[in-house]
A and B are shown apart, each in its own frame.
Chain A
Amino acid sequence: MNLEDELRAALRREDPSLGFAKRVVARAKPSPQSNRPIFRMAWAVAIAAMLLIGLTATYEARQMKAERAGRDAVMALRIAADKLNNAREKVVRREN
């Protein structure tokens, strides 16, 4: 035999394991459940609910942040006003 004949013999086709075609077809067919309208509707509702929860959580987090910033600003103004009052009182005492 020459090399080319040996190569033909060595590289001859062989079949995959039993049930290969059935396994491929099973993977190719979409599962019947996922195609039913009720399941599609359930998926849509679930996704909408998740979106709503996400948006609400984001909105509430922003609200809380804004409220906290407002409180901090009021506190800072009060502290500044106290300091100004102290300074004013000291100036008035010296003038007297």
Chain B
Amino acid sequence: MTDDPERFEDLVREHQAMVFSMACRYLRNRALAEEIAQDVFLQLYRKLPSLESSEHVLHWLRWVTAHRLIDHSRQEKRRPQSPLDDAPEPVAADSTGSADPLLSEMLRDLVASLPENARVVMILRYQEDLDPMDIARALDMPIATVKSHLQRSLALLRDKLSRTKGVGL
């Protein structure tokens, strides 16, 4: 692939929603999500000459974004937290088209509270609509691990929803 700036801008436009949304769902912080998404695309720019096809770019972007997010949250855990870090993120107007915006908001919070690997697996499954085999390939993870993350996360979400709001899904 070429690192021609115009072609690169087209690539950014094509994949920006995927990379940004993965970061946003994972971090629940739009500003930080944009920053990380920018870094991922800058890394892509340097890597472009060695990527052979559009599929390769897509696979590379998913892999790098997922690992960047996991690394980021591991670093955050080691960093001493300031009171501002704990401040809740302003809630954006719901643009998901869900029948129940409050439920969507709650689900996003619950997904963001999952452990790092499980969170990425859930985002790839329900944001990117990848099946477990594709997720395993995208994350270099055994398929049994992917399935186990999905099952446990869904069970956890069902349990938390029914306990906090009495929602049965």
Contact = CB atoms under 8 A, between A and B. Distances in A.
B127 A24 contact: no
B87 interface: no
B12 A25 contact: yes
A7 B122 CA distance: 9
B12 A24 contact: yes
Contact of B123 (A2, A4, A11, A16): A11
B3 to A, nearest CB: 8
B158 A25 contact: no
Categorize the interface residue count of chain A: 20 to 34
Given A2-B169, A16-B37, A25 B96 contact: no
B131 interface: no
Where chain B touches its partner, the secondary structure class is: helix
A28 B17 contact: no
B9 A25 contact: yes
Interface stretch (B49-57, B67-75, B78-86, B100-108): B100-108
Interface string A1-39: 111101111111111110011111101110000000000
Interface of B: 5, 8-9, 12-13, 16-18, 20-21, 24-25, 30, 33-34, 37-38, 41-42, 45, 95-100, 103-105, 107-108, 111, 122-123, 126-127, 129, 154, 157-158, 161, 169
